[in-house]
Amino acid sequence: MSYYVLCTVEAVPCPDVSQIVGSIDYQALGITGASLSTAVALGAGMIFTFAMIPFVARTIIKLIDQI
């Protein structure tokens, strides 16, 4: 559970009477441990895939040049 503070007036620092404290329920938003690990795995997989494309292309070019 995370909390946030919202100031209802344009003042720095925000007066205590103008602060609204709320909470964020990540599970109600559908953000779970499984969804986070899936997102991290897909992101890492995409980065690895895009990093390997030049390597594979260079290897194929070298193999064709050897023929």
Looking at the structure, tell me whether residues 43 and 64 fall in a common domain.
yes
What is residue 60's predicted lDDT score, i.e. its pLDDT? 96
Give 47-66 pLDDT, tens digit per residue: 999 999 999 999 999 999 99
Determine the straight-line distance between the first and last CA of the chain, rounded to whole angstroms. 62
Looking at the structure, tell me whether residues 37 and 67 fall in a common domain.
yes
pTM for the full predicted model = 0.57
Looking at the structure, tell me whether residues 46 and 25 fall in a common domain.
no
Residues in the chain: 67
Give 1-47 pLDDT, tens digit per residue: 788 889 999 988 888 899 999 998 888 888 999 999 999 999 999 99
Looking at the structure, tell me whether residues 24 and 40 fall in a common domain.
no
Looking at the structure, tell me whether residues 37 and 61 fall in a common domain.
yes
Alpha carbon of 4 to those of 19, 22, 23, 32: distances in Å?
10, 5, 6, 20
Looking at the structure, tell me whether residues 1 and 19 fall in a common domain.
yes
What is residue 27's predicted lDDT score, i.e. its pLDDT? 85
Q: How many domains does the chain have?
A: 2
- Report residue 2 as tokens: 């995370």
47's enclosing H/E stretch is helix 33-66
Print the domain residue range for 52: 32-67
